[in-house]
Structure 1
Amino acid sequence: MKQPTLVVLAAGMGSRYGGLKQLDGLGPSGETIMDYSIYDAIRAGFGKVVFVIRHLFEEEFRTKIVSKYEHKIPVEIVFQDLDKLPEGFTVPEGREKPWGTNHAVMMAEEVVKEPFAVINADDFYGRHGFAALADKLRSLSDSEGKYCMVGYRVGNTLSESGTVARGVCQVDDKGFLTEVVERTAIARGEDGRIFFEDEQGQKQYLEENTPVSMNMWGFTPDYFRHSNELFRHFLQALDTNPKFEYFIPLPVNLLVAQGKISVEVLDTPDQWFGVTYAADRPEVVAKIQALVDAGEYPTKLF
């Protein structure tokens, strides 16, 4: 039985946050949110961590982040570059925007040969999600096309500092994903109910426990093959959408609709939190301290 690998997407800059939030020390001993994810991954039984970053901050990242994990877990770094495209394609003139989260996942293909999880660097997921993912991925060692994701309860993912965008999951009666629909400007109203506005500007309500994607996925290596094939297809149609980004739900939705894959949605009671806005920072620091005080994490992780 293979130990799964954790792929951490850490190439983005937090424009609303105002800095490189992946390197911001939020824990009592200066831990980053990533440190808590790696700690939870190690105790869940992940065997390796792969960071997807940009060359721009490689030196700082290696010094502040990677050095902490020496002798704790094997670490590899890969780079998401704008010009890392399939053979025959070049970066369109004027294109500066990154290609999106699924393009970042594809950067790990050369170093990942076992079932793997994907997370964002700047999201605090909680220990339960990592344990659930690790258990499921270990059971998928010899499988293809059987994937999973951790579905967070939408009521556990909101920010007090503003609205949030979430991938709202449609799930069948067996607990498998049928579609992820991106909804923007989700918030809790004054009446306590959670809502968003649809394409017609009509207010729509979500149940408290509606599963949403926080970009915590579980795949087997065949996902790279599907990703490359679909990426080529979308690049060929780039003229019709020059701002196209290859987000993870895009190929997942297509592959589910085509019946080529299944995605089991794993429930978690954990509360997600992160630094979507600069105003979120004090609240995140307080929440991490509360978890430390409750004995969920040591005062110093590494």
Structure 2
Amino acid sequence: MNSCKQQLTLVILAAGLGSRFGGDKQLAELGPNGETMLELSLKSAYKAGFTKAVLVIRPELAPLLDKALQDKFADDFKIEYCLQSIDDLPEAARAHADLAQRQKPWGTAHALWSARHHVNEPMAVINADDFYGDSAFSLLVQGLSVASDDWMMVGYPIGLTLSENGGVNRGVCQVANGKLVDVAEWLEIRQDASGLTGMLNEERSTIDDNAVVSMTCWGFKTDIFTVIEQELCEFIKLNGKQAKTECYLPSVVQARIDKSLQSKSSWGVNVSVAQESWYGVTYPEDVQWVKLKLQQAVNAR
């Protein structure tokens, strides 16, 4: 490997249970040649210039991923696993966490926290079960290669991210002058007779048809781990006795944005809008449609 090449890590959140899908979406063979979404993303990342990938997983996935990824990548692209464990928490949060009551890990912010010992360089963060397209990874490399403390996000028009088979969860964004102002996790977003609606703060509200959403396609510097630690501690102090409540990565990003705005800092989260469609499976009924779209997208490269 060229020693002058910038070190960039792709962190892939791959520990999800796929409860609505009915199985491990990260292992579903949806590509035109039987590839998983995970494999397609790894190939796009390598082509764009990433030098390493860290997969955040459950222990039982390791041998399955070994088999699926064996001999698929060059020696200059390192792939590591790390485990998302319920008890891997900041020390200050432990006293407030009822681990015996807890039924699942603590969400996407906690998943990225799990990778902190594996990443010492600028990083992108994506989901294992989504297809982002080559252009998203090129945008991430461009943004992360700039000498700046800013974070970044590659967003997608909300209309390109919905499912015809049920509601979906999305980080709905407000963007001004190319910077992210606000991102909030909306649940059960769907198109119905009253238009595009979703659940926010346990109330169903209307969403702008032209909204840009976060599909977990972020670019961070290593200071993200300090911010996650602070926010996880606050979250677990409030929710540590709950069995399933999760700390979402967009909430962590929003907390950092709010502090920056309060201090009138020039720091921000730069937003790029993807040049290709996003594809993902939330429900089993999504599979055939996604397979068709992936075949078209991959063959068009």
Task: Specify the TM-score bucket, using the shorter chain as the normaliser.
Answer: 0.7 to 0.9
Answer with 228-237 or 51-60: which moved more: 228-237
Structure 2 residue 181 is matched with structure 1 residue 178: yes
Which amino acid letter does the alignment assign opposite residue 245 of structure 1? Answer: E
Q: Secondary structure at the match of 2:269?
A: strand
Structure 2 residue 38 is matched with structure 1 residue 46: no
The answer to whether the 8 Å contact 1:162/1:187 transfers is yes
The answer to whether the 8 Å contact 2:102/2:241 transfers is no
Aligned residue number for residue 268 of structure 2 = 262
Aligned residue number for residue 292 of structure 2 = 286
Q: C-alpha deviations, 1:79-125, integer Å up to 9, x for none?
A: 11111112251651211121111111111111211100000000111
After TM superposition, the score normalised by the length of structure 2 is: 0.88
Aligned residue number for residue 28 of structure 2 = 24
Name the count of aligned residue pairs. 289
Answer with 155-164 or 210-219: which moved more: 155-164
After TM superposition, the score normalised by the length of structure 1 is: 0.88
CA distance in 1, matches of 2:298, 2:231: 43
CA distance in 1, matches of 2:187, 2:239: 24
Q: C-alpha deviations, 1:149-204, integer Å up to 9, x for none?
A: 111011111112222221110112x111111122223233469x644466696652
1:242/1:12 Cα in 2 relative to 1: closer, same or farther (>3 Å)?
closer
Aligned residue number for residue 227 of structure 1 = 228
Match of 2:208 among 206, 209, 230: 206
CA distance in 1, matches of 2:298, 2:204: 42
Aligned residue number for residue 248 of structure 2 = 247
CA distance in 1, matches of 2:233, 2:298: 46
Structure 2 residue 170 is matched with structure 1 residue 169: no
CA distance in 1, matches of 2:215, 2:170: 7
RMSD across aligned positions (CA): 2.3
CA distance in 2, matches of 1:247, 1:198: 13
CA distance in 2, matches of 1:254, 1:222: 13
CA distance in 2, matches of 1:202, 1:139: 40
CA distance in 2, matches of 1:228, 1:184: 24
1:292 CA drift (Å): 3.5
Answer with 67-76 or 117-126: which moved more: 67-76
Q: Secondary structure at the match of 1:206?
A: coil
Answer with 61-70 or 74-83: which moved more: 61-70
1:53/1:199 Cα in 2 relative to 1: closer, same or farther (>3 Å)?
closer
Match of 2:144 among 119, 137, 152: 137
The answer to whether the 8 Å contact 1:50/1:108 transfers is yes
CA distance in 2, matches of 1:36, 1:42: 10
Which amino acid letter does the alignment assign opposite residue 113 of structure 1? Answer: N
Structure 2 residue 124 is matched with structure 1 residue 122: no
Which amino acid letter does the alignment assign opposite residue 180 of structure 2? Answer: L
The answer to whether the 8 Å contact 1:2/1:114 transfers is no
Unaligned runs of 5+ in 1: 297-302
CA distance in 2, matches of 1:181, 1:78: 27
Which amino acid letter does the alignment assign opposite residue 114 of structure 1? Answer: E
Which amino acid letter does the alignment assign opposite residue 120 of structure 1? Answer: N
The answer to whether the 8 Å contact 1:66/1:75 transfers is no
CA distance in 2, matches of 1:24, 1:243: 25
Structure 2 residue 85 is matched with structure 1 residue 85: no
The answer to whether the 8 Å contact 1:169/1:177 transfers is yes
Which amino acid letter does the alignment assign opposite residue 207 of structure 1? Answer: D
Aligned residue number for residue 109 of structure 2 = 102
Answer with 114-123 or 249-258: which moved more: 249-258
The answer to whether the 8 Å contact 1:165/1:184 transfers is yes
Aligned residue number for residue 36 of structure 1 = 40
Q: C-alpha deviations, 1:223-278, integer Å up to 9, x for none?
A: 11121122223223335756432210111111111117511111113111111000
CA distance in 1, matches of 2:28, 2:187: 26
Aligned residue number for residue 219 of structure 2 = 218
CA distance in 2, matches of 1:199, 1:53: 29
Unaligned runs of 5+ in 2: none
Identity %: 39
CA distance in 2, matches of 1:57, 1:240: 28
